[in-house]
Amino acid sequence: MTRYGIKDNQVRAFNKMIRISHQKLNLVCDMVRGLPVDRAIDVLKFSKKRVSDEVLKTLLSAVANAEHNKNLPVESLFIKEIWCGKALTMKRIMAGPRGSARPILKPFSNLTIVLESGVAPEKKNTKKVTK
């Protein structure tokens, strides 16, 4: 049975209103997409990106959801889907020269992680080698 597009062997977790742009968040999402959970946790712990802590918190929340709500084995979980999107943008004004104003945009993002129990599919090398 699927509910909200989630199968019985899948769980998801959300993190809304993260104070970073969706482009920067997507760089961290690309690092862990398709990885097993234990490997993804290691990658996020040692990442130098500021937002990796928020992604790690959301990933651990998804693991807790799998363990508590659906009784899925943690060892067999992998990241099926991970995506981010735009949330609101705070607009501020900074004083400019000669009495003018300059806009400051402070974007927020949303993050969604879907975990699945089973064997993670192998990543295909999409980069083309040219000689």
Statement: residue 1 has pLDDT above 60: no
Statement: residue 38 has pLDDT above 70: yes
Topology annotation, domain 10-117: Ribosomal Protein L22; Chain A (3.90.470)
| pTM for the model | 0.86
> How would you class 109 by CB atoms within 10 Å of its CB: exposed for 0-12, middle for 13-18, buried for 19 or more?
buried
Provide mean pLDDT across the span 21-47: 96
* Confidence (pLDDT) at 127: 62
Averaged pLDDT score across all residues of the chain? 91
Question: Per residue in 49-63, pLDDT tens?
Answer: 999 999 999 999 999
Cα 49 to Cα 54, 55, 124, distances in angstroms: 10, 10, 25
Provide mean pLDDT across the span 27-36: 95
Question: Per residue in 51-102, pLDDT tens?
Answer: 999 999 999 999 999 999 999 999 999 999 999 999 999 999 999 999 999 9
